[in-house]
Amino acid sequence: AMNALLLLIAFAAGLVFRRLGYPPLVGFLLAGFAAHEVGVGDIATIRTLADLGITLLLFTIGLKLNLKELSQIQVWGTATMHMFVAVLLTVPAIMLAGYLFPVLALESHSAAWALAFALSFSSTVFAVKIFEERGENAALHAAIAIGILIVQDIFAVCFLVFTAEKPPSLWGLGLLALPLLRPLLYAILKRAGHGELLVLFGVAAALGAYELFELVDLKGGLGALIVGVMLGQSPKSVELYKSLVALKDLFLIGFFLQIGFFGLPSAEMFLVALALNLLLFIRPLIYYALLTWFGLRARTAYVTGVALFNYSEFGLIVAAIAVTSGMLSDDWLTTLAVAMALSIFISTLFNTRVHYLYSFISGFLQRFQRSERLARERKVSLAGAEIVVLGMGRVGVGAYETLTAEFGNVVVGVEENIEKAKQRAEEGYRCVPGDASDYDFWVDAALAKRRMLLVSLSNHRENLVVVRMAKRFNYQGILAVISRYPDQKVELEALGCVTFNLYAEAGHGFAEHVLRQTSEENSSKPVDPAPAST
């Protein structure tokens, strides 16, 4: 009954923040603190849900991970150099806190370095959730941010291995044979179909990998990530990912709830948590400086840095280990939990307005970017296009083909996934890579001068960002946007858009297609000669 009440509190808090225009996860954080104070909920159950959520999160990251991204200097170079800079800046703050407040006194200097190392990382859970909320999973800045986070997670696993009470088992060498299981896993995945067996396969693969790595004294989450990568090249990996998203999101609620169960801090502990968050404001600046130094343009570096503008759940894991070994007091665990919660609040405020803020500071930020762009960030030309389809998924491709048949060679498609854009171009479509929510892209491609824009992105919030961008550029042409639910259709129409509800009007489109096909077939059949009269 208490856990059911906790879920109701979480739902109510999430709904309130959704109505206020913030991601529900902020409400889940508050619900955790409130539930702990009134004694609602079982922390053991919540932690189990959180562990399941994080395991599925790492597995799904693996499914979509592009290993080439990790090899880019913008990813591993930024992750490594940021860690060194952040640790050097954080150690003095931690030691000062231990000196000023006896309750947070440190046993040794090594404890300060361990804490600073933990606080140098950003939250994988938060970044993935915020990109999903904005529909930006395929964007370049999302790929770079996730790559940086995975490099940080690898550092974290190495730290846990070296500080563990016992080293990994020699049986762990057997895990090197895991790639040999790929054909078998592919065959099982192929036969799992499209329903509940597919979901069950994904959960079993993630949890099975987790337990296998734990058996040999390695981090279970690393196992889930690696098996996800192994399955990522399967033809059904996209379908598997989509089937697990809702389940993963449900379990991740437990992650945000559990932070509140560390309890409310004393005044001294809250002051230290607040001081650590003031230090946090340097983080996006470090990321921005490094990413632009490595050749990324201002907007990509800016959005990436803001997404990593928080503390990581790894800090709590390191603190818990340090408390167990006697290096830290229990009060540090609560302090870090509050610091992480505050960092998520602050990061959410900036991330929900990240594109809007960029339109005001783009001129200033661009002073610090390199004049020569990387190949994947060079300006694209839409030539003489009068009609632009933003988003070249299945719906976008269908719209492109229909409009091309009607108006000729004046249609261009734009796709934010660089690989998909290349694929569409190879298939014969006039398709260029570009991010429809990118202020710079609107300027470079002169989108505001086009006669018609069709927005068929994967996420309603991303569609709204594009619509508001069009308003900011005072777009006077026809703005057509896909919707999936009636409330989305009403919201878009109120903004002056032409909108098509995919679900409500799919039957109409289906019937039109059938009638058109049958009409063409009948017209192509030879007419039987009239029977001779007798």
Q: pLDDT tens digits for the chain (534 residues)? A: 567 888 899 999 989 988 887 778 888 888 888 888 888 888 888 888 888 988 898 898 888 877 777 888 999 999 999 999 999 999 998 888 888 888 787 777 888 888 888 889 898 888 888 888 887 877 889 889 999 998 888 888 777 766 666 677 888 888 888 888 889 999 999 888 888 899 999 999 999 999 999 898 888 888 898 999 899 888 888 889 889 988 888 888 888 888 888 777 788 888 888 988 998 899 999 999 999 999 899 999 999 999 998 888 777 777 777 777 777 777 888 888 888 888 988 998 899 888 889 888 988 998 888 888 777 777 887 878 899 999 898 888 888 988 898 888 899 999 988 888 899 999 999 999 988 888 888 988 889 999 999 998 878 888 888 998 899 899 999 999 988 888 888 999 898 898 887 766 666 666 666 766 676 666 655 655 555 544
3-state secondary structure 394-438: HHHHHHHHHHHHHHCCCEEEEECCHHHHHHHHHCCCCEEECCCCC
Supply the DSSP symbol for 108.
-
- Which amino acid, residue 498? V
The pLDDT assigned to 289 comes to 94
What token pair was written down for 485?
């639910």
Residue 157: CA atoms inside 13 Å, Cβ hemisphere, count?
19
As a whole number of angstroms, the distance between CA 414 and CA 388 comes to 7
Enter the pTM of the model: 0.79
Q: SS3 of 454, please? A: strand
Instruction: Classify the C-alpha dihedral 292-295-299-300 as positive or negative.
Output: negative
Per-residue b or e along 17-56, where b marks 16 or more CB atoms closer than 10 Å to that residue's CB? beeeebbbbbbbbbbbbebbeeebbebeebeebbbbbbbb
Q: Two tokens at 126?
A: 């938060």
Distance, CA of 112 to chain centre: 31
pLDDT at 305: 94
Beta strand 478-483 pairing with 498-501: parallel
How many other C-beta atoms can be found within 10 angstroms of the C-beta atom of residue 353? 12
Tell me the backbone φ, ψ of residue 530, rounded to 5 degrees.
Answer: -65, 140
Of 400, 426, 402, give the one whose Cα is nearest residue 414: 400
What distance in Å separates the CA atoms of residue 460 and residue 483, rounded to the nearest whole number? 7
Distances (CA, A) of 449 to 251, 377, 470: 45, 22, 10
Alpha-carbon distances of 247 from 135, 137, 180, 199, rounded to whole Å: 18, 18, 29, 9
How far apart (Å, rounded) are the C-alpha atoms in residues 31 and 371?
A: 47
